[in-house]
Amino acid sequence: MKHWVKIILELTKFRISLLAIFSASAGFILAKQGLSGEITMPIIGVFCLASGSCALNQYQERENDQRMKRTGGRPIPSKRLLSSTALKISLGCVFFGGLILYFGANWIALALGAFALFWYNGVYTPLKRKTAFAVIPGALIGSIPPMLGWVSGGGYLFGPKILAVAFFFFL
């Protein structure tokens, strides 16, 4: 059991997903002007969505990861996890994360989460193999979790406070 937990944590890039919930929490707390129990569902949704997105990234990169020493030990290229299993885990996390955001926050939070997923896996991931300048669109992904937390806490999507915070995370 411990072995599988370690593999899942590696696949979903647990530490990166934790950073996403910390920044989403900051946005939520700013919007609510304090901590509230209502933070629970949006944070779980962000965690699931971020985990699924990271796992999908590893699925997308499985062939390149196999060729590089730095990434060859990841769960898929090291053959500790079948690529089909990794894809199922990824899609399950994304699905449940989306449901949780929709029902536990609001449709704007879900839309931001879906945009982050699309941008990370559909734009940044393919672009990073083509140019070093992919870090610029890649930085956009880091600015989305605080905005997602903000709208989950009832804040206006284009409020100046959250745009300033998002810009900070972008940098």
Question: Which residue in this structure is represented by tokens 């300048």?
Answer: 133
pLDDT, mean of residues 126-153: 92
Whole-angstrom distance, CA of residue 62 vs CA of residue 47 = 22
pLDDT, mean of residues 15-31: 96
Q: Chain-centre distance of CA 6, in angstroms?
A: 19
What percent of the chain shows pLDDT beyond 90? 78
Q: Is the dihedral of CA 42, 46, 48, 49 positive or negative?
A: positive
Cα–Cα distances in angstroms (integers) from residue 97 to residues 44, 74, 75, 114, 115, in the given order: 7, 23, 22, 10, 13
Residue 125: count other Cβ atoms within 10 Å of its Cβ: 17
Q: What is the pLDDT of residues 89-124, one digit of tens each?
A: 999 999 999 999 999 999 999 999 999 999 999 999
- Report DSSP letters for 76-105, one per residue: TTTTSS-HHHHHHHHHHHHHHHHHHHHHHT
| pLDDT score of 2 more than 80 | no
Q: What is the pLDDT of residues 41-78, one digit of tens each?
A: 999 999 999 999 999 999 999 988 788 888 788 889 99
Domains of the chain: 2-170 (1.10.357.140)
Do residues 17 and 136 lie in contact, with contact meaning Cβ atoms separated by under 8 Å?
A: no
Instruction: Write the single-letter amino acid at 129.
Output: R
